[in-house]
Structure 1
């Protein structure tokens, strides 16, 4: 069989007349384009036995964290297994999908990494490994994977997107100055790389430079306008910058016009919304009736049980919307995961359950209980996945539980630790809470 090379120069078992369309899929995956799904479907309509295409379809379904998409992923896996003869590299994607369907996403990433080591210019493989490690909170592995292929990408047509991924891993592992430099270079090479641009936004968040962050994003909206729902996440970053500056009206305006422009029940969209509303309320801002639609959608997804990250943001929304019965039901479902061998279930069981119980207790005004549960999950919180910026909402609730429970020393210790994890940088939130602690101590003298 004759194999045609894709845009990474990797042999692909597609008829040569479809390579252009397949390259559109690869570019769409790299740039988080809204056109990626339709482009993939167009390829599979013409070549339903294309094993790699079916595998990417299945892996993409699992990344959505929706229980109904698991069945679709299984269908894609079956189609891929029955597909036309494929390369060893393509079958690695197929078997990686099988690993994940068996509850071992880390096995999927490890399998793909072996092939990436042999084919370091494989953009699709690099990005998929990056995505899997991201949802599992494995920043060191994410960075090692990207850095392992850097030398092979000097003349790669997609080099800008690799730099965007590298910038994000640098930021997540605490190298903020280098992350900003690499991210800016990547965006210059690939102006539509929303992931790389958002990596730079993360740097501004972690280093407490909200005003500079807004200046950086201003005028670059085209970098994320073409995106799938990832565009809402970039708007979320912009809202966080306004929040840090105390510009609450601006943050809420972005929430209404952009972050919740579409009232989807995608867990990533719900996480953007719920975490922003939670931050606003912790700062004493009335968010009106915005919790209502969010909590209703979260209640409908609360029994999915796909990812701890999703569950904890559903819990934020359920608590915000005062849906006590649904919140209790979510915790009960999370507790049932403790006997599972599935990797996602183990993380749901710990630290997921402890954090969810802490969020519920906090919403009920039981601050000492909230502190105890939240602290129990704190050391393993990164395993729920997402980024430092996304998980920070749980740090803030934990700190607030200590403050409201009168545990000033514990709250200060957490704030100092939070600052250390940010390279010694302080943001508006941290500075304001340390001032509150100083004032409370002075009043007690």
Structure 2
């Protein structure tokens, strides 16, 4: 039997299949293009290699090819006879994940990594702000993510992937300096790691290093394939920094060419959340956003997220619907009871509706209780600045200038001297 690069035994005797599998895993971990092709090569080298089919299913998910997942997983299960405990557990975890059972999948991942900490494909499911911990809706999820990656870190030595994962966990709990140092070390080992580049952007954002961040990401993106899963989201980071610099031409170029519906290859959740956040942050900063842009995003939200259940997506869908004037779609989100943080989605949706009507005092009433723990909604600190800056805007528009300054200085000192919000 062959082993992967982390030392896990693989259910294949084909060296070519194992090498192709490793390449596919690295593409998944680095968020780079090529995972589907690599896992296809692994299957071609050994059609009976069950985990290659699982890897292909995971790659299909990142490519947005949801229809391919079920047959691939069914084939993996059919090939599981005679496999060892790790591979059987590996397949079971992904079956739970692809069956839309996030609570059960998270429990299965956490149990699996206790026995097999270096099964990176499984461990990866709970890392990152978009993993099962990040989207759990539970209080303290940022600390839980730090604890999770911190427990895994000693098992990985100087591995570039786990280093980048733990670096993000540090950044999201306020240790941006330590996170950036670890991220630099990770990128020095494997500079093509798009997750590492992404998380470095987060650390620089948290430190207010706009010029440095723009220069770094602009250079790094030159070699990043547009069809890669993070291309649209990294473009969002570029656009945010352009906005903060007042470089409106660059901001709109990123939106039109890389972020807007139909412009790139991002997953629907990224298209919706990045698009809505950028348009609204641009409006707050004083830009004119065309009504057709909001209508297009609202239509996209209706198409891809018709039934509220993914709370992070839902608050952005509600924003798009409110600004597009689609009261029926907005009401559907505002009345939603499904989703890991539905209790927070409801007031946020009502706040967007109030803002769209110019009722900032009412929006303030709705948003204020949410600010106590909006981390439950998911996303990074940079993404949840959508709410921080909206709250600031509402305070300013209701005449509470002193409170607005105290609030932003206390909650997000990053913006205490200059916030991208027009009075």
Q: Structure 2-normalised TM-score?
A: 0.86
Q: Where does 1:368-407 land on structure 2 (aligned, <5 Å)?
A: 368-407=361-400
- What displacement does 1:107 show? 3.7
Partners in 2 of 1:350 and 1:378 — Cα distance? 13
Which position in structure 1 is the counterpart of 2:152?
A: 149
Partners in 2 of 1:271 and 1:429 — Cα distance? 24
Which position in structure 2 is the counterpart of 1:235?
A: 235
What is the SS of the residue equivalent to 1:365? coil
Which position in structure 2 is the counterpart of 1:292?
A: 295
Which position in structure 1 is the counterpart of 2:360?
A: 367
Q: Where does 1:41-440 land on structure 2 (aligned, <5 Å)?
A: 41=40, 43-44=42-43, 50-56=49-55, 69=66, 78-85=74-81, 86-100=83-97, 104-130=101-127, 131-136=131-136, 138-154=141-157, 159-222=159-222, 224-225=224-225, 228-260=228-260, 261-262=263-264, 266-288=268-290, 289-332=292-335, 334-335=336-337, 337=338, 345-347=339-341, 349-408=342-401, 410-419=403-412, 424-426=413-415, 429-430=418-419
Partners in 2 of 1:362 and 1:237 — Cα distance? 25
Which position in structure 1 is the counterpart of 2:31?
A: 32
Partners in 2 of 1:364 and 1:38 — Cα distance? 49
Deviations 1:278-313 (A, max 9, x none): 100011201234323222211212324341111111
Which position in structure 2 is the counterpart of 1:340?
A: none
Q: Which runs of 5+ in 1 are unaligned?
A: 338-344, 437-445
Question: CA distance change for structure 1 residues 8 and 359 in 2, over 3 Å: closer, same or farther?
Answer: same
8 Å CA contact 1:359, 1:397 repeated in 2 = no
8 Å CA contact 2:106, 2:132 repeated in 1 = yes
Partners in 1 of 2:144 and 2:384 — Cα distance? 18
Question: CA distance change for structure 1 residues 375 and 62 in 2, over 3 Å: closer, same or farther?
Answer: farther
8 Å CA contact 1:197, 1:223 repeated in 2 = no
Deviations 1:184-204 (A, max 9, x none): 111111111111111111122
Deviations 1:324-378 (A, max 9, x none): 222223334x23x2xxxxxxx242x221222122112211222222122222332
Which position in structure 1 is the counterpart of 2:5?
A: 7
- In terms of mean alpha carbon deviation, does 274-283 or 33-42 score higher? 33-42
Structure 1 vs Structure 2 CA RMSD: 3.0
- In terms of mean alpha carbon deviation, does 400-409 or 180-189 score higher? 400-409
Question: CA distance change for structure 1 residues 90 and 141 in 2, over 3 Å: closer, same or farther?
Answer: farther
Question: CA distance change for structure 1 residues 346 and 255 in 2, over 3 Å: closer, same or farther?
Answer: closer
Question: CA distance change for structure 1 residues 263 and 87 in 2, over 3 Å: closer, same or farther?
Answer: closer
Partners in 2 of 1:48 and 1:364 — Cα distance? 59
- What displacement does 1:212 show? 1.8
8 Å CA contact 2:163, 2:182 repeated in 1 = yes
Which position in structure 2 is the counterpart of 1:341?
A: none
Q: Which runs of 5+ in 2 are unaligned?
A: none
